C-alpha cells in the first residue's frame, strides 16, 4: 500500500500501511495523537488521544483515561485525502511516524530549497503522486482540514 505526501514543491510516495500524526495544541500546549491506516486507497482514523484536557480539547465519545491520556476510537468513515495546514503557531508542527520510516517533523522533512510547506496533503489513492498545484490549495471542498494551531480532534 502506498501513501502520497505532497506539498507545492515536493511529493513523496511512501510504502506504508499505517502512521501516527501528533501535534501540540497552540493554546493549551497539550499533545494530540492520531493513528491512521491505509485501507482500500483511503485513510481510516483508528484511534485518537490527547494528554490531559483543556479549552477546546474535549475527548471524543467513548473516551477513557489511561496513563494521563484521554483515548477514544477513531472515525470509521474513511477519508480520501487528509489536508494539514502549517501555521507555525504551535512552536512545533506535525510529527509523522511510520514503521520503516521513523518519525519526522513534516515541515522540516518536506522543506525544499528553503521553501517550507504551507499545506501538506496526505492521499492514499492510486493517483499519481506529484506536487500540489496552487489552485488545489485554495479548493474549499477539502475532505478534512486540520491546523496545527487548532484543536486536532
Profile the chain (153 residues) by mean pLDDT over runs of 10 residues. 90 95 78 94 95 75 92 92 79 88 94 88 89 59 37 37
Q: Please state, in angstroms and rounded to a whole number, the distance separating the CA atoms of residues 56 and 89.
A: 16
Q: Where are the alpha helices (DSSP H) in 12-117?
A: 106-109
pLDDT at 134: 64
The pLDDT value given to residue 17? 95
Q: Nearest CA to 101 among 6, 33, 2, 31?
A: 2
- The rounded distance, in Å, linking the Cα atoms of 1 and 47 is 20
3-state secondary structure of 136: helix
- For residue 80, what is its C-alpha cell? 480520501
**pLDDT of 35:** 97
Integer Cα distance of 52 and 58 in angstroms: 9
Q: What is the pLDDT of residue 83?
A: 92
Quote the pLDDT of residue 16: 94
pLDDT of residue 116: 85
DSSP type of residue 115: B
Q: Is the dihedral of CA 125, 151, 97, 129 positive or negative?
A: positive
> What is the rounded CA–CA span in Å between residue 81 and residue 121?
7
For residues 13 and 138, is the Cβ–Cβ distance under 8 A? no
pTM of the model: 0.81
What sign for the dihedral angle of Cα 2, 5, 143, 83?
A: positive
Amino acid at each position: 500500500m502506498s501513501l502520497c505526501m505532497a506539498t507545492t514543491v515536493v511529493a513523496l510516495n511512501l510504502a506504508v500501511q499505517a502512521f501516527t500524526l501528533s501535534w501540540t495544541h497552540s493554546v493549551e500546549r497539550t499533545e494530540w495523537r492520531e493513528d491512521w491506516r491505509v485501507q482500500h486507497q483511503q485513510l481510516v482514523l483508528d484511534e485518537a488521544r490527547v494528554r490531559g484536557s483543556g479549552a477546546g480539547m474535549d475527548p471524543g465519545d467513548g473516551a477513557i483515561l489511561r496513563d494521563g491520556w484521554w483515548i477514544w476510537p477513531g472515525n470509521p468513515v474513511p477519508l480520501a485525502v487528509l489536508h494539514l495546514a502549517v501555521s507555525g503557531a504551535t512552536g512545533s508542527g506535525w510529527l509523522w511516524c511510520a514503521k520503516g520510516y521513523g518519525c519526522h517533523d513534516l515541515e522540516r522533512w518536506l522543506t525544499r530549497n528553503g521553501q517550507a510547506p504551507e499545506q501538506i496533503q496526505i492521499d492514499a489513492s492510486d493517483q499519481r503522486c506529484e506536487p500540489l498545484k496552487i489552485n488545489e490549495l485554495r479548493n474549499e471542498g477539502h475532505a478534512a482540514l486540520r491546523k496545527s494551531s487548532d484543536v486536532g480532534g
